[in-house]
Amino acid sequence: MSLFDHTAAFSYAGYLITNRDDALDQLQAQRFFPHYEKLDFHHITHLFPSQEPPPPVRGGTILAHCLGDGVECFVVELHFEDGTSTYEREHEGGTYHVTFSVAPGHQPKESNDALATQPWLPLGTPVELELEARLLS
């Protein structure tokens, strides 16, 4: 089973964060430290489940922070190679995001509910992400 599995039986289209350490340093410089015990900062889901890789991107930008009950995440705007950018997930609805931290007894997928029900705090300085489009399992 992969570190990136949502469910072992399914694959999904997503984006791996390839400049993770640099992005974490930039977030910490803005006083964003994991609120919950488990750091879970590694990918952005495009479509779950999926047998096709996601569309290529030029990168992403962390725009806002969201703290939910048991999960913490950041809103991410994706910059697609066709020149468009969005933080809205058109296929499944919701918001492109990266889960940042998770409390015991909670799951990263709960970030979707937090983004729908909790306020977003804009970052003082957006953080750029380098991303690799992949089919994950």
Domain-located, residue 66: yes
Please give the pLDDT value at position 92. Answer: 73
Going by the DSSP 8-state scheme, the letter that residue 109 receives in this structure is G
Residues of the chain with pLDDT under 50: 1-8
Residue 109 gets the label, from left (phi > 0), alpha (psi -120 to 50) or beta, of: alpha
Distance CA 3, CA 137 (A): 9
Structural domain includes residue 2:
no
**Amino acid 102: pLDDT:** 98
Tally of domains in the chain: 1
Q: Judge whether 25 lies within some domain.
A: yes
Residue 85 lies in a domain: yes
Under DSSP, the state recorded for 53 is: P
For 111, the 3-state DSSP assignment is helix
Domain-located, residue 136? no
16-37: buried (b, 16+ CB within 10 Å) or exposed (e) per residue? bbeebeebbebbeeeebebebe
Instruction: Check residue 14 and give its pLDDT.
Output: 95
Write down the pLDDT at residue 9.
59
Provide the domain limits for residue 64.
12-131
